[in-house]
């Protein structure tokens, strides 16, 4: 899937630059601007190492032109249902997906999706919303629902990239094998029996340990270190036993 990011009449060049940076952070490169503010030094600075994205951005004067070749148009809106209920054109704003639902819907799809982000002060207007195939809204606090434009963008890019890769290039670490974990439980049980742990509590303690180690999702290296530690402790107890 190719994601085209469309900023509709952005007012501040800092935001445009910040969106470009967030795009590059999540592997996106196609930026389209509709009647943008002038991009000056501050916008370039905010783009940081994503100046190339900003320099390659195409500008249009109409949304229709910006959408040429797009297979699907997704509009973003911060307007919530309770506000929108008083709105005569309610159907323009509902139903609205949350970012995760959108990501699931787009997962594994091919084609070009245009993601529309509206003006900093008033978002997308009715005519623009009417051109959208889907709407997405980030769930925010009712006390302050209006997000910074580039923050909304970053959250959406992040969510769409998640589904795209499901951690494809994330921190891959070798997880402890089932065999090593079984050995760890066996050695823990032996240690417990050697420490006069109250017999009626042993099973409970072992189950608890199993759950704790399970939730910790041990790496192979960590599991081996724990095994080494238990061996040391048991050795210590055994040596002193023998010396008696």
- Kindly tell me which residue out of 50, 57, 73, 184 binds its own copies, with binding defined by CB under 8 A: 50
> What is the torsion angle, in degrees rounded to the nearest 10, for the CA atoms of residue 11, residue 57, residue 169 and residue 48?
-60
Query: Given the rule CB under 8 A, which of 1-9, 62-70, 122-130, 214-222 is the region that contacts its own copies?
Result: 214-222
Surface-to-core class of residue 206, CB atoms within 10 Å of its CB (0-12 exposed, 13-18 middle, 19+ buried): middle
Site for its own copies in 6-25 (CB under 8 A): 18, 21-22, 24-25
C-alpha to C-alpha distance for 63 and 115, rounded to whole angstroms: 12
Asked if 130 interacts with its own copies (CB under 8 A), we say no
- Kindly tell me which residue out of 11, 155, 189, 227 binds its own copies, with binding defined by CB under 8 A: 155
Asked if 190 interacts with its own copies (CB under 8 A), we say no
- Kindly tell me which residue out of 110, 121, 127, 169 binds its own copies, with binding defined by CB under 8 A: 169
CA 26 to chain centre: 10
The one-character DSSP state at 223 is: H
Asked if 85 interacts with its own copies (CB under 8 A), we say no
Q: Smallest distance from the beta carbon of 241 to its own copies, in angstroms?
A: 6
Asked if 55 interacts with its own copies (CB under 8 A), we say no
Site for its own copies in 93-112 (CB under 8 A): 94-96, 98-100, 105
* Burial call 140-178: b when 16+ CB within 10 Å, e when fewer: eeeeeeeeebbebbbbbbebbbbbbeeeeeeeeeeebee
Which of these, 72, 62, 17, lies nearest to 39 by C-alpha position?
17
Query: Given the rule CB under 8 A, which of 54-62, 110-118, 122-130, 211-219 is the region that contacts its own copies?
Result: 211-219
Query: Given the rule CB under 8 A, which of 3-11, 33-41, 137-145, 178-186 is the region that contacts its own copies?
Result: 137-145
């Amino acid at each position: 899937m190719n994601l085209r990011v469309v900023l509709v009449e952005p007012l501040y060049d800092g935001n445009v630059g910040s969106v470009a940076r967030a795009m590059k952070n999540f592997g996106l490169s196609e930026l389209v601007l509709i009647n943008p503010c002038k991009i000056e030094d501050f916008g370039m600075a905010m783009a940081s190492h994503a100046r190339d994205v900003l320099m390659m951005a195409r500008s249009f004067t109409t949304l229709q032109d910006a959408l040429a070749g797009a297979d699907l148009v997704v509009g973003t809106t911060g307007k919530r249902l309770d506000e929108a209920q008083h709105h005569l054109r309610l159907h323009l704003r509902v139903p609205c997906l949350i970012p995760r639902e959108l990501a699931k819907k787009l997962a594994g799809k091919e084609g070009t999706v245009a993601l529309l982000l509206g003006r900093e002060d008033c978002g997308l207007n009715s005519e623009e919303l009417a051109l959208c195939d889907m709407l997405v809204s980030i769930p925010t606090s009712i006390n302050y629902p209006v997000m910074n434009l580039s923050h909304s963008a970053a959250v959406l890019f992040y969510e769409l990239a998640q589904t795209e890769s499901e951690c494809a290039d994330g921190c891959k670490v070798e997880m402890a094998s089932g065999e090593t974990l079984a050995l760890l439980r066996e050695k823990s049980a032996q240690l417990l029996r050697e420490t006069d742990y109250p017999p009626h509590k042993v099973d409970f303690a072992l189950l608890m340990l199993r759950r704790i180690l399970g939730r910790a999702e041990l790496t192979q290296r960590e599991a081996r270190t724990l095994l080494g530690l238990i061996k040391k402790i048991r050795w210590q107890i055994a040596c002193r036993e023998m010396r008696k």
